[in-house]
Amino acid sequence: QVFKGRPCPNAAAPLPMAEPCHVVESSLALQVCGYLDVCGLSAAEAAGLDRLCTAACWLALRAEAERKLSSRPWWQLQSRPGLPDDPKEALRQLTLQLKSVVAVPSSWAECIRQLSDTNIEIHPRPASSSITDRGPQQGAAEEYTGLGEGEREHADAVPRIAGVPLVLGSRPRESMSAAVRISAERVSRLGEAFLLGVEFISTEDRQGTATTVVYFSPISGRVFVRVPADPHGLVAGPMPALGASSATEVEVFLLVSASGCISFGRRGNGQGRVEWCGELPPEFVPVSSAECYASLAFQIDKLEEPANISITWTGSELPDSVEPPMSQDRFYAVWSVHEW
């Protein structure tokens, strides 16, 4: 106990309890609280730590969440409701927005239907439906932001590779993680109809922006690299396919470390540990990348039965229930050309 401005009491006398604000000096408390996340700060507040310090830290966490969202091009295009004055409630709403997907075009509803900010339902393409002629993908970062509101809402049809970006993103030397749960009658029949990916946006001198996308198929265990303007990409198989099974759910994980390494993982029904594909080194993506975003991609023509995709986690680090990949586990697989 620290007693501000008091002499140390006689050892024989009973020691009075200090007020919580006297236990730690305010300046020190502010430094300590500055390292806490939402859960840690909540615990410190419940323990009676200096209210001025915790209030300042809540405001700082809110400001950081607003900073992350304000840099997302899709969030800038959307109308934003006013946030409540209470920093904790505002932070809760901002956190939910960071875990959401960008609005799915209404014209995709026959195959890709957005049920909520974190939930998407997918169905096989009807036999009478056609594939849009608008390139192989719509919804990737560079294409989504380049379309006007009317164009996004009136796209001809669901493209062969339909990309739906998440709000979640990061800049160089910032880590990023996401988790998605796939539910279906038999997830093994999903094949490569669903991919979890990360889009790296780079600025080319006098040529606008360019995007490199790294995808992972949790069912086949394959990893793909794609540049949307190029019909040819790369593919490798660092994991075995799940194979035929009666599993109804599988979790998929993405981790981009502060050093730029990329890792994908999966966890099936009843499995405690996450199976990781190994780390793709930072040299794998363009050095000119200014930011990256998590995204979902759907190859509807490869879908055999309906499935549900739920975003269960987004953040700078993986949830506590997920053991991260070992840093020494490198990506070992043979790359070959893949035609999109």
**Tens of pLDDT, residues 144-167:** 433 444 444 444 589 999 998 887
Indicate the domain borders of the chain. 20-95, 99-339
3-state class (DSSP) for residue 76: helix
pLDDT band at 177 (very low <50, low <70, confident <90, very high): very high
Tens digits of residue pLDDT in 242-290: 877 778 999 999 999 998 899 999 998 767 789 999 999 988 777 778 7
- Position 204 scores a pLDDT of 65
- Position 56 scores a pLDDT of 87
Q: Which residues contact 260 (CB under 8 A, 6 or more apart)?
A: 172, 281, 282, 285
3-state class (DSSP) for residue 239: coil
99-339 CATH fold: Jelly Rolls (2.60.120)
Give dist(CA 162, CA 152) in Å, integer: 12
- Position 1 scores a pLDDT of 41
- Position 290 scores a pLDDT of 79
* CA distances for 92 relative to 36, 46, 117, 124, 174, angstroms: 16, 18, 14, 35, 21
Give dist(CA 151, CA 170) in Å, integer: 27
pTM over 0.75: no
Q: How confident is the model over 138-146, as a mean pLDDT?
A: 43
Tens digits of residue pLDDT in 44-57: 888 887 788 888 88
3-state class (DSSP) for residue 21: helix
